[in-house]
Chain A
C-alpha cells in the first residue's frame, strides 16, 4: 500500500510540479534590518523600510528565463522612493537566462544607464539539511556570499536562501539562481526578500516575450562597474 502511495505521489509531482514552465512570484522586502548603526545613514534605511512596506517585487519565470523587478509605485512628496529601492538593491531590473548561465542587471547610476553581467559560475551555493516551512512548502537552507568592492576596500557579506524543492523553478530574487527549487526567501547581508504569493502557469510565452530584455552587447562585469564607481568617487571626493 505504502509502495503505491509513493508511486502515486511521484506521478502527482511529475504532473503537477514537474511541468511548471512558468510562474509569477511576488516578494516583499525589508532592507538592512538593524545593521547600520550610524544615525546619519541608518535614517535613510528606516525611511526605505517605510517606503517599501507595501511594494510588490515580481519574479516572472518562463522556461529558462526570468525577470525580477519592482512594481511601479507613485513617489510621495516626502519619500525618496528611488533611493529606497537602491538601498534594498532593487533599483535595477534583472533578467536571468539559465541556458546562458547569466543574469543581466539594467540600472541607472552616475547619470548613465548600465547593464551589469553576473556569471552564474561566480555564485557558489552550499546546500544544507536545515529546513523550515514557508507557506505550504518545505524549504531548505542554502548559503553563499557576496562581495562589495568600494573606495574603502573589499567587503564580504553572507547570503542565505530558502528554496522549495517541490517547485522546480531554479530562480530567485536578483541574480540569485541555480538552486534545485524556487527561492522562497533570501537574505543578502541583512536585506530580506520574503515570499508573498505564487501563481503557477499565469504567463503565456507571448506575454513573456513582450518584456524587453537588457542588451547583452552593452553589458559590463560587476568588477568593471565597481571600478567605474571608484574612479567617479575619487574625482568627486578627491580621494587618492
Chain B
C-alpha cells in the first residue's frame, strides 16, 4: 500500500515536472510559453520573406532554446 502510494506520488511529481517543462518555460522578456514562441518565430520569419523550411528551422531552434534550462 505504502509502495503504491510512493509510485503514485512519483508519477504525479514526474508528470508535473514534465508538464511544467513543456508548457510553461518562458523566454526572458516574453510572456509566452515555448509552443507560442515557436509559432511566433515561424510567423515572424515567414512574414520577413524567409523560406518555409528555414522559417521552420529557426522556429524549432527557438523552441529548443526556450526549453533549455536557464
| Chain A residues with a Cβ under 8 A of chain B | 36, 38, 40-41, 44, 80, 83, 86-87, 109-110, 148, 150-152, 155, 157, 189, 226, 229-230, 232-233, 236-237
Contacts and interface: CB of A to CB of B under 8 A. Distances in A.
A32 B49 CA distance: 12
Contacts of B52: 150-151, 226, 229-230, 232-233
How large, as a class, is the contact surface on chain B?
A: 20 to 34
B46 A80 contact: no
A36 B61 contact: no
A154 B61 CA distance: 24
Contacts of A152: 43, 46-47, 49
Interface string B26-70: 000010000001011111111111111111111001100000000
Given A83-B57, A233-B56, A150 B41 contact: no
A40 B48 CA distance: 12
Contacts of A83: 57-58, 61
A226 B46 contact: no
A176 B6 CA distance: 65
A110 B30 CA distance: 28
Contacts of A232: 52, 56
B44 A151 contact: no
Residue of B30, B40, B45, B53 ringed by the most chain A CB atoms within 10 A: B53
Nearest to A225: B53
A90 to B, nearest CB: 12
Contact of B51 (A38, A40, A80, A148): A148
Contact of A86 (B39, B44, B54): B54
B49 A157 contact: yes
Residue of B52, B54, B61 ringed by the most chain A CB atoms within 10 A: B52
B61 A44 contact: yes
